Amino acid sequence: MLGTAAGGGCPQWNCACRLCASGLPPRSQDCVAISADGTGWYLLNCSPDIRAQILGTPALRAGPGPREIPLRGVLLTDAELDHTLGLLMLREAGGLPVQAPYAVWQALSPFRAIADGYGGWTSLTDLPGLRVDVLPVSDKKPKYAAAGEGPWVVAYRISDVATGGVLVYAPCLKSWPPGFDAFVDGASLVLLDGTFYAPDEMAGVGGPDQLAMGHLPITASLPRIAGRRWAYTHLNNTNPVLDPTSPEHAAVLAAGALLPPDGATYVL
């Protein structure tokens, strides 16, 4: 787990809320790296913090050749900037394979035009040793994107064909969508949208309703996951679960869910 925070990270540069000013360990923006063999790696989303995330993760650093890299491609769940801006940081990797929903691919056409000057992107169609299943979960498009037919947001189910381990990555859920229970059935680990704890959380900083922002609050999802080995990610800087002394943090752990920090590693 390269990053576990929502857009802007925590602390957020333009925020002086209690949590941003509390001195808690910083969290970078949501991004995950996966591998079937520990040699070739794929990113689930590509955050604006990707350079620091790669350099802080030995398995992702360049080598052994002067221009050899272990990164093999990127899978995008949506077109939000906190999940896609990092692609421009990876422009030197000409021909980088990318997988995304069609609406996301179209919305990122300005990014693709920039990347074309460095070798462009290709379509990611094969992940050796891994099976990828996709579930559309929302039609919530980013503010910058023109209207277009969705789905705009998907979840990924990544299965290791050798070990049988299964990861589900769903950092953006506007609701508990149809088919999601079947999609996560038998998963070894689910990384779930934990952006907000409560439905009115952003009211204190002048923000809109959480569902309007495309995120199901933890209070709505936690009763569904009690006792499962699931972890919350994409935590907003306003989310009280970031504070390990808070009752909200304790409630998540008491339900059996996890709140992993940046750098957490899972072997499935």
For residue 107, the domain's CATH number is 3.60.15.10
User: Looking at the domain assignment, is residue 97 inside a domain?
Assistant: yes
Q: What is the pLDDT of residues 41-83, one digit of tens each?
A: 999 999 999 999 999 999 999 999 998 999 999 999 999 999 9
Q: What is the pLDDT of residues 100-125, one digit of tens each?
A: 999 999 999 998 888 888 888 889 98
Mean pLDDT over 162-177 rounds to 96
Per-residue confidence (pLDDT) for residue 211, from 0 to 100: 56
Sheet containing 121-123: order of strands: 32-34, 41-44, 71-75, 96-99, 121-123
User: Looking at the domain assignment, is residue 12 inside a domain?
Assistant: no
User: Looking at the domain assignment, is residue 99 inside a domain?
Assistant: yes
User: Looking at the domain assignment, is residue 263 inside a domain?
Assistant: no
Given the structure tokens 């056409």, which residue do they identify?
109
What residues make up the domain containing 186?
32-254
User: Looking at the domain assignment, is residue 111 inside a domain?
Assistant: yes
Exposure string over 104-119, b if 16+ CB within 10 A, otherwise e: bbebbeebeeebeeee
Mean pLDDT of the chain: 93
Give me the half-sphere count of Cα atoms (radius 13 Å) on the Cβ side of residue 113. 5
User: Looking at the domain assignment, is residue 264 inside a domain?
Assistant: no
Helix (H) or strand (E) holding 28: none
- Number of separate domains in the chain: 1
Given the structure tokens 């992993």, which residue do they identify?
260
User: Looking at the domain assignment, is residue 1 inside a domain?
Assistant: no
This prediction's pTM: 0.94
Whether residue 207 has pLDDT greater than 90: no
